[in-house]
Amino acid sequence: MKYLPILETERLIIRPISMDDLDGLFEMDSQPEVHIYLKNEPIKTIDQTKKIIEDLVIQYEKLGHGRLAVIEKESGNFIGWTGFKYIEEKDKINNKIDFLDFGYRYKKEVWGKGYATEAAKACIDFYNQNMKEIKLNALTHIDNIASRKVLEKVGFQVTETFHFDLWNLDCYWYEFK
């Protein structure tokens, strides 16, 4: 299964992440505001970001899919990431495995511009056309209203709440319908 698309929307290009995205990914993941509803542990060094990209490339090679860079067409800038991550036994979430976790993260400067929803719609369209044989889920911190709205706009429904031990957070569990 190889699912590494290059998707295009009106304002965005969505493509595999590479070392060309190192500075943009570091800039985003070092912003404390980006981590408010995560572990509250922003990235501290560029080497941490290099490791993230190296791990993504391994995932691309092993599984044929993974998180994707979101590039703003007008500026050509990396503004975030979106897409799917296959959850195996070692990455278990909510006591569940063998599913795609749909997620996204964006630089604080682009919040509120509709990019997350625009990119999510493109990814869900791709999923519906190419990947429906793999179960699709998502999660979000119970207080992250903006993220909840994105997930619900593209067809996810809350099915339960759970405590995400790895991050010590209370979350909503979403299933794609």
The confidence score (pLDDT) of residue 78 equals: 98
* pLDDT greater than 60 at residue 1: no
Closest CA to 52 of 30, 25, 28: 25
The pLDDT tens digits for 60-87 are 998 888 999 999 999 999 999 999 999 9
φ, ψ of residue 138 to 5 degrees: the values are -155, 165
Q: Where are the domains of the chain?
A: 7-176
CA distance 115 to 110: 7
* pLDDT greater than 80 at residue 3: no
Q: Which amino acid is at 141?
A: H
CATH number of 7-176: 3.40.630.30
Confidence (pTM): 0.95
